[in-house]
Amino acid sequence: MNANVKDYSPSQHFGRAAALGVSVILAGLLGTSSGAVAQEATGKSFVETFDKLSGSRWFISDGWDNGKHQNCTWSKEQVKVADGNLVLSFEKKPLKNRDYSCGEVQTKERFGYGTYEARMKTGTGSGLNAAFFTYIGPVHKKPHDEIDFEVLTKDPSKVQVNAYVGGKSNDEKLVDVPGGADKGFNDYAFVWEKERLRWYVNGQLVHEVTEPSQLPSNPQKIFFSLWGSGTLSEWMGRFIEPTEPVTMAVDRVAYTAPGEACQFEGSVACSLQ
């Protein structure tokens, strides 16, 4: 589906279950290839500090939702740039068939192996999810591959890391965010290689996967999203309607391709070189 018309936002975690049957079937038909990243990734190394939102790089999700589990509709009105930050918001603002509006952006290009980094701060609220992740899936005529950082804002002292391969979740883990994801900006990074996948919080390694069957291989888009659910209470907490907009602010995002110079001082990619 052409992103210029309407692109796709993946459903999150347990809420993906209804769609995973299709994902798994397509994964079996399409398969994965260790050479896929080199062949199909078009995204180059970059760093963005959000003085503005680049229309050539970012697509704003607008006018749809990801399924029955999601209680908000993606809206371009919930996406803005302010004070050098990309700001996504969730609030009670009826849109189409949902009582709430929420924000998401996604890159137009797909990226392969390399170092992905975001510096961000979240709000709080039970039943909400603030996420920095990469994704590709059946709507792109590819298997569902994904790499996640998800702050379940019912408890912003933690962030969940996870990866999907062919629609199957692998080895998810909750890790500490020192000081809290809501108290200040924190640095989240993952290093995706053919042989391993590593997650970092504020420069510290917090999780690693080396099992080949648990390593994504398909180039993916970069996403930031803030959304809510009234049904995924076991995972995200019972939804409590916020009395004011909840926000997620992104100060910086960067991608560094393997073998290229790190994109900013203090980057995880600098320490790996």
Q: What's the pLDDT tens digit per position in 45-99?
A: 999 999 999 999 999 999 999 999 999 999 999 999 999 999 999 999 999 999 9
DSSP helix/strand/coil, 186 = strand
Q: What's the pLDDT tens digit per position in 183-239?
A: 999 999 999 999 999 999 999 999 999 999 999 999 999 999 999 999 999 999 999
Residues marked active site are found at: 146, 150
Compute how many other C-beta atoms are within 10 angstroms of the C-beta atom of residue 159: 26
Phi, psi of 136, deg, nearest 5: -145, 150
The domains found in the chain, sorted by start residue, are 13-272 (2.60.120.200)
Phi, psi of 270, deg, nearest 5: -65, -40
